[in-house]
Amino acid sequence: MKASKETITRFVTTLFTFLLYAQAVQAHVHKGEAVSFLSGLKHPISGLDHVVAMIAVGLWGAQLGAPAIWVLPVAFPMVMAMGGMLGLLGVPLPGMEIGIAASAILLGAAVMMELRPPLALAAGLVGFFAIFHGDAHGSELPAGENGLLYSIGFVMATGCLHGVGISIGLVHRWNWGQRALRIAGAAIALAGMFFMWKVFA
Amino acid sequence: MTCALRHRRSVTLAIALLCLLLPVRAEAHLPTIGLGPVYDGIFHLLLSPEDLIPAIALALLAGQRGAGSSRRVLWILPIAWLAGGFTGMFVGTPRGSAVTCFSFLLLGSLIAANAKLFAPLTTALAAMLGFFHGYLNGSGINRFNDGAYFLLGLALAVFVVVALFTSFVIPLRRHWALIVVRVAGSWIAASGLLMLGWALR
């Protein structure tokens, strides 16, 4: 018990160190401008299509259990950042919006049917769709004064969305939870179909 | 712990939190914090994520590899930072560098992969990155105006940051806690990738 108290004290001390962080003074910030940690934090949660796909990754990881529960959320931000880098460099990715909508459909369907493919295949599928999400974010980002804080906020928000999915997915241990997750997967797939319809409408 | 002691700690914590809420005057373009060059150096590290995060990342990496690697990094990193700072102060020219992204990318990837680095390799990495970041810091300060004290404060802050974070990671035994460290690594690497995109844009 003593050791855990010490660990908590260290953690709280570290956390308070971060409270010392000075944020940039934001006068007349344009919408979406990359000026601070908070604007980066807000970016991934500003689009429902991104939010549902990222939560689906967490839900699927929770259904698959270890090691997928952490491999998928580790793989997604890294590959998404790679896509974001391509977007920032202006590299065009054909069918970007279709890829984002398809990610919600397929990941939602995977959760609904509780698919259990080999880990490499699951990680590959998640990574493949992460490129579309990253490229979409990257190509939308206007120039700003503090790309680093923005990037950190952006990545943290993405990771936290996976965390939300994993936390919800922990209900998988109960029978009613398994059914609820499948229903949630179906809802995500339906949302994906709506996004796909919007792309072609 | 007695009830009275717990109560006293709660009151102290509440007062500390209230002190954090005290409004202070906003200081735009603040060149120093007004407490002297040593404190300027300390606060420079705490308020500069481009230097702080690589120092934290190196501490996490060393912590993953155990107490032996951590002890080496604890001493090598601040010394290399100081040496790089003095070199930069006397021979360097102040310029930003996209290579900072490389630190994020390399260290973050190694943490995410839980790379089994040999202790000498971790030490060499600490020496190299410490020197590089110190060089960038040193090249931007005035050698005729207490620059040495600034660098000393900076190196002391690096020492404290490494000590705090390694002591947080080394005792971790639970599987999920180790995964959290790896996820943090993936976030650092992802931020580095996005930073690279910003730099090359």
**Each residue of B39-81: pLDDT tens digit?**
888 888 888 888 899 999 999 999 998 888 899 999 999 999 9
pLDDT on residue A26? 54
Judge: A85–B53 Cβ closer than 8 Å, yes or no: no
Handedness of CA B191, B197, B200, B201 (dihedral sign): negative
Token pair, residue B51, equals 């230097």
Q: What is the pLDDT of residues B148-184, one digit of tens each?
A: 888 999 999 999 999 999 998 888 878 788 888 998 9
Alpha-carbon distance of A27 to B48, in angstroms, equals 21
Mean pLDDT for A41-46 is 80
pLDDT on residue A149? 81
The residues spanned by each domain of chain B are 37-200
For A83-97, A166-180, B26-40, which range has the lowest pLDDT when averaged over its residues? B26-40
Judge: B193–A78 Cβ closer than 8 Å, yes or no: yes
Confidence of residue A200 (pLDDT cuts 50, 70, 90): confident
- ipTM computed for the complex: 0.74
Of A57, A73, A88, residue with least CA distance to A185: A57
Judge: A13–B195 Cβ closer than 8 Å, yes or no: no
Handedness of CA B145, B151, B154, B156 (dihedral sign): negative
How many percent of chain B have pLDDT more than 70?
88
B168 and chain A in contact, CB less than 8 A:
yes
pLDDT on residue B94? 58
Judge: B53–A78 Cβ closer than 8 Å, yes or no: no
**DSSP E strand stretches across chain A:** none
Answer whether residue B31 shows pLDDT above 80.
no
- Name the more confident of A5 and B27: A5
A86 and chain B in contact, CB less than 8 A:
yes
Answer whether residue B89 shows pLDDT above 90.
no
Of A119, A118, A120, A100, residue with least CA distance to A108: A100
Mean pLDDT for B91-107 is 77
Q: What is the pLDDT of residues A8-43, one digit of tens each?
A: 777 777 766 666 655 555 555 555 555 577 777 887
Judge: A7–B171 Cβ closer than 8 Å, yes or no: yes
How many percent of chain A have pLDDT more than 90?
13
pLDDT on residue B29? 46
Q: Considering only alpha carbons, which residue of chain A is nearest residue B98?
A: A148
Q: What DSSP line would sit under chain B, residue for residue?
A: --HHHHHHHHHHHHHHHHHHT------TT-S--SS-HHHHHHHHHHH-HHHHHHHHHHHHHHHHT-HHHHHHHHHHHHHHHHHHHHHHHHH------TTHHHHHHHHHHHHHTT----HHHHHHHHHHHHHHHHHHHHHTS-TTTTHHHHHHHHHHHHHHHHHHHHHHHTT--SHHHHHHHHHHHHHHHHHHHHHHHHHH-
pLDDT on residue B97? 61
Confidence of residue B25 (pLDDT cuts 50, 70, 90): low
Closest in A22, A74, A152 to B112, CB measured: A74
Q: B193, B195, B201: which to substitute to probe chain A, counting the most A Cβ within 10 Å? A: B193
Residues A157 and A40 sit within 8 Å (Cβ to Cβ): yes
pLDDT on residue B125? 92
Residues B62 and B108 sit within 8 Å (Cβ to Cβ): no
Closest in A78, A148, A149 to B186, CB measured: A78
Answer whether residue A93 shows pLDDT above 90.
no
Judge: A70–B168 Cβ closer than 8 Å, yes or no: no
Q: Ramachandran region of residue B32, left (φ > 0), alpha (ψ -120 to 50) or beta?
A: beta
- State the pTM of this model: 0.77
- pLDDT mean across residues, chain A: 81
pLDDT on residue A22? 57
For A117-126, A131-140, A157-166, which range has the lowest pLDDT when averaged over its residues? A131-140
| Amino acid symbol at B144 | F
Alpha-carbon distance of B58 to B104, in angstroms, equals 10
- pLDDT mean across residues, chain B: 83
Chain CA centroid to CA B181, Å: 16
Q: How far off is chain A from B147, nearest CA to CA, in Å? A: 23
pLDDT on residue A167? 87
Q: Considering only alpha carbons, which residue of chain A is nearest residue B50?
A: A148
Name residue, tokens 């000026």.
Answer: A35
Residues B64 and B184 sit within 8 Å (Cβ to Cβ): no
- Name the more confident of B100 and A102: A102
Alpha-carbon distance of B94 to B89, in angstroms, equals 9
Token pair, residue B66, equals 């155990």
Contacts of A10 in chain B (CB under 8 A): 164, 167-168
Answer whether residue B201 shows pLDDT above 80.
no
Of B155, B161, B164, B108, residue with least CA distance to B133: B155
pLDDT on residue B158? 94
A1 and chain B in contact, CB less than 8 A:
no
The CB density around residue B69, as the number of other CB atoms within 10 Å, is 23
Mean pLDDT for A171-195 is 90
pLDDT on residue A3? 55
Q: B104, B162, B198, B201: which to substitute to probe chain A, counting the most A Cβ within 10 Å? A: B198
Q: B183, B194, B200: which to substitute to probe chain A, counting the most A Cβ within 10 Å? A: B194
A27 and chain B in contact, CB less than 8 A:
no
